[in-house]
């Protein structure tokens, strides 16, 4: 896996669309994350890639009902369906959403080639087959996992979801897939209040801190890898486990998030498993601050890429 390159990143300027300033979803965070990574020298014109087009219907259909896709894309979802998603519909939101799915697939293709790659978006794990929820419209993780298997890019995909909320949509969509496995580490008492069944659900108590959290990962992930022997990992590195997150209930510090990401990427590397990382959730009224918390993933991945993968 020796490459004369730096950590592959995926970003598109459409990820942050104009949005109501006071909205609970921090839409500006993607652009701010990109700017911060540019300032840190982690994102450059050399290593930052953009999806060339939004994911088409044929790709979205890998994990979603055609009627739901059409209704969302044409602005025909009813008020209840839109309320459950929680984002104001616009043609730009459609472009943004479908481009981000393409971005996760591109990230996975880069991970297949280089061993490790990171998206600056993705992780919309509350989207189900025929409806969206919790700021998630299409499930990039489920679409991407099926894309990898159906195109012969992976034989056994493991989705490790460390967003503070359960990956309920991912679990439901992929429940019957023999070659795709879901593992969710999430806050037991947090949204979604009706949990789905992942292949592995590890519930975490409120106020869990850095060392307990890392111990939980260490307790479960080695045996899951030994059992499945996946050749591809999709990693949702939600920053909403952070102690200052508006919607999280856990107490991880910056250092705890670094340790989490370091542990999972190193584990993938030790087992020679390609790993594609997406940012997942992260919430704060201060959008630059939430972008900074997401950037901990790219910083750690960049360090490891330079140490282990080049």
Binding site for Zn ion (CB under 5 A): 163, 165, 238, 240, 281
Q: Which residue is nearest to Zn ion (CB)?
A: 281
Least separation, in Å, of the C-beta of 236 and Zn ion? 9
Q: CB neighbours (10 Å) of residue 130?
A: 14
Residue 168 or residue 240: which is nearer to Zn ion going by CB? 240
The token duo for 235 is 């990693």
Nearer to Zn ion, 239 or 302 (CB): 239
Minimum Å gap between C-beta 87 and Zn ion is 14
Between 96 and 165, name the residue whose CB sits nearer to Zn ion: 165
The half-sphere exposure of 5 on its side-chain side, counting CA atoms within 13 A, is: 19
Dihedral over alpha carbons 102, 301, 274, 145 (to 10 degrees): -30
Of 113 and 285, nearer to Zn ion (C-beta) is 285
For the bound state, the minimum distance from the C-beta of residue 195 to Zn ion, rounded and expressed in Å, comes to: 14
According to DSSP, residue 192 is labeled P
Closest to 10 measured CA to CA, from 93, 110, 160, 94: 110
CB 165 to Zn ion: min, Å:
4
H-run or E-run covering 87:
none
The CB-of-74 to Zn ion minimum distance in angstroms stands at 28
Q: Shortest Cβ distance from residue 239 to Zn ion (Å)? A: 9
CA distance 99 to 299: 24
Q: Using only C-alpha atoms, what is the Rg of the chain? A: 17
Cα dist. 234→65, 98, 206, 255 in Å?
A: 22, 18, 25, 22
- Of 115 and 134, the one with the shorter C-beta distance to Zn ion is 134
Nearer to Zn ion, 25 or 263 (CB): 25
State residue 81 phi and psi, 5-degree precision: -65, -40
């Amino acid at each position: 896996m020796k490459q004369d390159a730096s950590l592959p990143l995926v970003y598109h300027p459409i990820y942050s669309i104009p949005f109501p300033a006071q909205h609970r979803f921090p839409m500006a965070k993607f652009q701010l994350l990109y700017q911060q990574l540019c300032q840190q020298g982690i994102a450059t014109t050399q290593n930052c890639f953009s999806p060339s087009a939004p994911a088409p219907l044929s790709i979205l259909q890998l994990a979603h009902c055609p009627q739901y896709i059409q209704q969302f894309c044409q602005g025909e979802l009813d008020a209840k369906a839109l309320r459950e998603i929680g984002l104001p519909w616009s043609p730009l939101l459609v472009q943004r959403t479908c481009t981000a799915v393409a971005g996760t697939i591109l990230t996975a293709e880069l991970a297949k080639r280089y061993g490790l790659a990171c998206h600056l978006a993705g992780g919309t794990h509350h989207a189900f087959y025929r409806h969206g929820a919790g700021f998630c419209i299409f499930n990039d993780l489920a679409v991407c996992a099926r894309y990898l298997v159906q195109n012969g890019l992976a034989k056994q995909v493991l989705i490790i979801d460390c967003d503070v909320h359960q990956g309920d949509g991912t679990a439901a969509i992929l429940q019957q897939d023999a070659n795709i496995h879901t593992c969710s580490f999430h806050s037991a008492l947090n949204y979604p209040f009706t949990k789905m069944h992942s292949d592995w659900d590890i519930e975490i108590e409120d106020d869990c801190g850095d060392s307990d959290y890392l111990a939980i990962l260490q307790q479960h992930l080695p045996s899951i890898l030994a059992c499945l022997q996946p050749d591809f990992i999709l990693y949702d590195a939600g920053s909403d486990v952070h102690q200052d997150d508006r919607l999280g209930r856990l107490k991880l510090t910056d250092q705890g998030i670094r340790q989490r990401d370091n542990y999972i990427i190193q584990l993938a590397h030790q087992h020679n498993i390609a790993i594609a990382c997406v940012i997942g959730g992260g919430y704060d009224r201060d959008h630059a601050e939430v972008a900074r918390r997401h950037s901990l993933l790219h910083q750690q991945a960049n360090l490891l890429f330079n140490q282990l993968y080049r």
